[in-house]
Amino acid sequence: MPGCAHCGGELDIVGNQVGRRDTCPHCGEEVHSCRNCRHFDKTVAKQCKEPFAEVPSDKDEANFCELFQIGEGGLHVKDSKDAALSAAEALFRKK
């Protein structure tokens, strides 16, 4: 189940059916935004892995990108995954 990149709350979305004006039921942020897209990546040029996308400057606001695909939690999933990995690595570090 995809999650909101802003609050981490679950989004009840079937397939990739996200309207431009859809908002997160938990925090009210717009869902059809770069930060909720599976192509969003802070480490690449324009923060988008899709080379043909016309990337908006505001990654939090709803946009008209036709290449939008809902991600699996955006920032919160990656952050929590990184935190879990760091915690696991800390268990095995020599003191």
Report the alpha-carbon distance of residue 7 to residue 21 in Å, rounded. Answer: 18
pLDDT of residue 48: 94
Mean pLDDT of 11-27: 88
Report the alpha-carbon distance of residue 48 to residue 39 in Å, rounded. Answer: 5
40 band by pLDDT with thresholds 50, 70 and 90: very high
Residues paired with 40 in a beta bridge: 48
- Residue 9 tokens read as 């709350």
pLDDT of residue 67: 93
pLDDT tens for residues 42-90?
899 899 999 999 989 999 999 999 999 998 765 544 555 566 667 777 7
Q: Do the Cβ atoms of 86 and 60 come closer than 8 Å?
A: no
pLDDT of residue 81: 57
Residue 1: closest CA among 29, 24, 30, 34: 24
pTM beyond 0.85: no
